Amino acid sequence: MNRKSLGINRFLRRVTQNWYKWIGPVGFILGVTFAVTIGIPTGIDIYQNWQNLDPKDRSQAGITLIQTVATIVGGIAIFWNIVLSRRQLAASQEQNITERFSAAVEQLGHEQTAVRIGGIYALERIAQDSPRDHWSIMEVLAAFVRDHRSLAADKIPKINQPSHNDIQSAITVLGRRNTRRDPDRIFLYLSDSDLRGLSFSTGDYRTIRFIGSDLRKANFYGASLQNAKFWKATLTNAKFHKANLSGATLEATDLQGADLRHCNLRGTNLLNANLKNARGLTIDQIQSACNWQEAIFDDELMLQLDLKADILKNGPTQQIPKTQDSP
């Protein structure tokens, strides 16, 4: 899709989401149009022929003019009342969403697991009802995961530490969000987090940053991971069966024992990625990726790929370059 089409789609979304704001201008334009095309010509016609009218016809003409003016004024008044009603309704809805948002965020810190999970799904519902709050809610949920699963050495465990179910619920909501509402070139960060054993199955995690995270035994079955970044992430024994990793960054990752059967690796950056004992890898898969010559494979695969003997013996020696997401 080209830039012109994207611009048109954004404009149509804005018009659809804020259609009530157009009622006032449209009503005013229609009122002026009626006045110019009907009211003014009618008044001029009556004025020009006033002297030629019989006394009986004059009264009828006056009534006609009054009715025309009243219709125009009444129509404008109706449109204005609609505008005021819509503004009041919008203000009421905005207040309601604000109250719901505050209540849901408070639930995230509750001591009971069920209440915390309820708060997560309440935030998801708000994101569905309010496109304007969609991204803020996704960032809150991503921060919830990072805050309670941080790998930082100085991170102090909290009393109400969320369970596996809490974190899994937040991950699930992130994966089924409406990505069409995501802002351009702004990303969600699940970096430096302990995400071991969590399920990302069939979710949409495109462009999300998993930099430096521990994702051992995580389940990415059928997930959309285009352009996701896993720089220096631990992905030992992770399941990527049928996942789409096209354009993703697996640079310097540990993928030993990972399940990569039927996984799309087209354009994936494999620089210094450790793919020893990875399951399901084919030659076509590997060669569709980028920098596969600098990845680490089993000896058998190294020979099949016709890599150099010194690489086969010692492994890649190239220093890992700094990338945009590198610390």
pLDDT in tens, 113-138: 999 999 999 999 999 999 999 999 99
Residue 275 lies in a domain: yes
| Total count of domains within the chain | 2
Residue 321 lies in a domain: no
Higher pLDDT, 19 or 273: 273
Residues 26 and 157 in one domain: no
- State the residue range of the domain holding 268: 100-314
Query: Do 203 and 71 reside in the same domain of the chain?
Result: no
Q: Is residue 140 part of a domain?
A: yes
Do both 110 and 87 map to the same domain?
no
pTM of the predicted model over 0.75:
no
Average of per-residue pLDDT across 9-21: 54
Rounded Cα distance between 193 and 24, Å, is: 50
Distance CA 32, CA 169 (A): 54
Sign of the dihedral through C-alpha 148, 192, 164, 177: positive
Could you tell me if 130 and 235 lie in one domain?
Answer: yes
Q: Are residues 161 and 291 in the same domain?
A: yes
Residues 44, 106, single domain; the answer is no
222 and 193 share one domain? yes
pLDDT at 321: 46
Shared domain check, 145 and 85: no
Q: What is the pLDDT of residues 23-61, one digit of tens each?
A: 556 656 666 666 556 656 666 665 656 556 566 665 666
Task: Spell out the alpha helix ranges (H) of the chain.
Answer: 3-17, 23-34, 40-48, 55-107, 113-129, 134-148, 164-175, 283-287, 299-304, 309-314
pLDDT for position 234? 97
Mean pLDDT of 175-184: 94
Q: Quick one: 82 and 141 in the same domain?
A: no
Instruction: Name the residue among 208, 272, 273, 202 with its Cα closest to residue 241.
Output: 202
Convert the pLDDT of each residue in 241-287 to its tens digit.
Answer: 999 999 999 999 999 999 999 999 999 999 999 999 999 999 999 99
Asked whether 272 and 292 are in contact (CB, 8 A), the reply is no
Kindly indicate the confidence band of residue 311, based on its pLDDT and cuts at 50, 70 and 90: very low
